[in-house]
């Protein structure tokens, strides 16, 4: 991890009024400041990636005991506790920083679980959730940037009751994202957001996450551009495959859970890359049970992974019936070590707790490659180095087409 930076050069103090109406001095910091406060840190997937990009995570926070112990086991400073009971001053003191000094606050405030498929009734208003404590920390601490990540379903979710324009009318649907963006707008942060897939950043896994980046000083922020593609002339820039991540662990997987004997009997009939549709026709109704008549593609039932493509999204357990993650060639689920490889954790990273907790910590993490790309993007913005400026571009039509594509990908939604 990068060493902590102890020297800050404060330039051009600016008077800023927070949401509470209290005036405070805000400063544009030296370009050398790269200090980060991490919230809802979990097993530190996001934090590790940010550190690899050149940022310095000064302190983490989580309420879950095993996550806290994992952070401590790996030598990191952490505040254990419910974010609702933690004051921003505590975070600043633990990080050795003052208001407006942090380069970044990052985290994924938990939302009420909801599905991205099937019937959805909406979720509770985020203004009554831990999201508002994330807002509270940013409002007081005033970091130069923030990163908020969450499940992709947040983009299309609606608040349960919405709002009423008139007492005699029905509730109108209110998008959750609209509520979230409005809160950040109140803080005066410029934002950009979209759904990013970790496979586009060298992660051997399809994993789509909602990412929102904010800038206090209205800098020209953008989302990280993809570095890896399904088709590319250079192998180094094609999607990373499951084989590249775990093939050497076939016979030495380490800690591993197991499928029930009944499920394993069915999985033995499924070839690499197959699922329940690969079972003999007369076996399918018995294997699927009540799910056989249900809607949806059910692609996760009796799924045996394929070595030569990215892994499907890791979930908190590889043995759940609707999202099985069976090894491509071995008759077992993915192991804890294989989970960690797919999420790109360092080989020496220690996970604490029981077997179920280790799977859950890794399955909930932000993949390291995606996190590193996010950190690199903010550093490029801070250093004003994201764009090569020229007086003239030759091959105008070619470069215009490419730049239009980049503009769309890097800033679809800018507020």
The pLDDT tens digits for 38-54 are 999 999 999 999 999 99
As a whole number of angstroms, the distance between CA 194 and CA 210 comes to 6
Q: Are residues 318 and 334 in contact, defined by beta-carbon separation less than 8 angstroms? A: yes
Residue 177 has pLDDT above 70, yes or no: yes
Confidence (pLDDT) at 397: 76
Q: Quick check: 91 and 140 in contact, CB under 8 A?
A: no
Cα(5)–Cα(300) distance, integer angstroms: 46
- Clarify whether residues 135 and 269 are in a common domain: no
Kindly report which listed range (107-121, 138-152, 309-323, 350-364) carries the lowest average pLDDT score.
107-121
Is 106 known to be catalytic? no
Whether residue 172 has pLDDT greater than 50: yes
Neighbours of 262 (CB within 10 A): 10
Q: What is the pLDDT of residue 295?
A: 76
Residue 77 resides in a domain: yes
**pLDDT for 221 beyond 50:** yes
Which is catalytic among the residues 16, 67, 106, 111?
111
Residues 50, 143: one domain?
A: yes
Q: First CA to last CA across the chain, in angstroms?
A: 33
Confidence band (pLDDT; 50, 70, 90) for 26? Answer: very low
Q: Identify the band that residue 30 occupies on the pLDDT scale cut at 50, 70 and 90.
A: very low
Q: Which of 268, 148, 116 is nearest to 215 (CA)?
A: 148
Radius of gyration of the chain (CA): 23
Going by C-alpha positions, the residue among 214, 250, 121 that lies closest to residue 173 is 121
Q: How many distinct structural domains can be found in the chain? A: 2
The vertex-8 CA angle with 7 and 13, nearest 5°, equals 160
**Claim to verify: residue 184 and residue 289 sit in the same structural domain:** no
pLDDT at 396 over 70: no
Task: Choose one of 323, 340, 363: the last residue of a domain.
Answer: 363
Closest to 343 measured CA to CA, from 323, 324, 316, 375: 316
Q: Return phi, psi of residue 127, to 5°.
A: -70, -10
CATH code, 309: 3.90.120
Beta pairing, strands 145-151 & 172-175: unpaired
Two tokens, residue 141: 């601490």
Is the pLDDT assigned to residue 115 strictly greater than 70?
no
Print the domain residue range for 85: 10-233+368-414
- pLDDT at residue 401, as a whole number: 73
User: Looking at the structure, do residues 164 and 312 belong to the same domain, yes or no?
Assistant: no
How many residues in total does the chain contain?
A: 415
373 and 358 in a common domain:
no
Asked if residue 99 lies in contact with residue 27, where contact means CB atoms within 8 angstroms, the answer is no
**309 and 163 within one domain:** no
Q: Is residue 2 part of a domain?
A: no
């Amino acid at each position: 991890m990068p060493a902590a930076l102890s020297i800050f050069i404060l330039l051009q103090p600016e008077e800023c009024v927070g949401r509470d109406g209290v005036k405070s001095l805000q400063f544009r910091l030296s370009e050398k400041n790269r200090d980060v406060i991490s919230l809802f840190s979990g097993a530190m997937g996001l934090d590790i990636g940010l550190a690899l990009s050149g940022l310095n995570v000064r302190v983490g926070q989580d309420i879950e005991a095993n996550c806290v112990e994992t952070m401590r086991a790996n030598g990191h400073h952490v505040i254990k506790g419910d974010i609702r009971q933690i004051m921003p001053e505590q975070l600043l003191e633990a990080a050795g920083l003052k208001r407006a000094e942090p380069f970044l606050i990052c985290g994924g405030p938990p939302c009420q679980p909801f599905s991205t498929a099937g019937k959805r009734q909406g979720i509770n208003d985020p203004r009554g959730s831990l999201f508002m404590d994330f807002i509270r920390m940013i409002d007081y601490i005033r970091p130069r940037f923030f990163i908020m990540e969450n499940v992709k379903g947040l983009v299309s979710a609606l608040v349960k009751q919405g709002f009423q324009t008139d007492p005699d009318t029905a509730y109108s649907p209110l998008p959750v994202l609209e509520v979230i963006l409005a809160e950040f707008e109140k803080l005066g942060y410029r934002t950009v957001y979209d759904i990013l897939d970790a496979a586009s950043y060298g992660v051997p896994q399809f994993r789509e996450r909602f990412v929102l980046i904010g800038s206090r000083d209205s800098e020209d922020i953008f989302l990280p551009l993809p570095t890896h593609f399904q088709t590319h002339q250079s192998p180094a820039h094609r999607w990373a495959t499951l084989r590249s991540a775990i093939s050497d662990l076939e016979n030495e997987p380490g800690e591993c859970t197991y499928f029930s004997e009944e499920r394993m009997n069915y999985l033995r009939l499924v070839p690499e890359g197959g699922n329940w549709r690969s079972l003999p026709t007369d076996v399918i109704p018995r294997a699927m049970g009540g799910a056989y008549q249900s809607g949806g593609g059910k692609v996760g039932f009796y799924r045996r992974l394929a070595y030569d493509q990215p892994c499907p999204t890791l979930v908190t357990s590889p043995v759940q019936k609707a999202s099985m993650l069976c090894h491509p060639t071995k008759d077992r689920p993915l192991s804890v070590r294989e989970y960690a490889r797919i999420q790109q954790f360092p080989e020496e990273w220690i996970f604490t707790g029981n077997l179920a907790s280790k799977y859950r910590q890794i399955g909930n993490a932000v993949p390291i490659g995606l996190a590193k790309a996010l950190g690199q993007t903010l550093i490029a913005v801070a250093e004003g180095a994201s764009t090569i400026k020229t007086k003239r571009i030759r091959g105008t039509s070619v470069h215009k087409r490419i730049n239009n594509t980049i503009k769309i990908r890097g800033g679809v939604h800018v507020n």
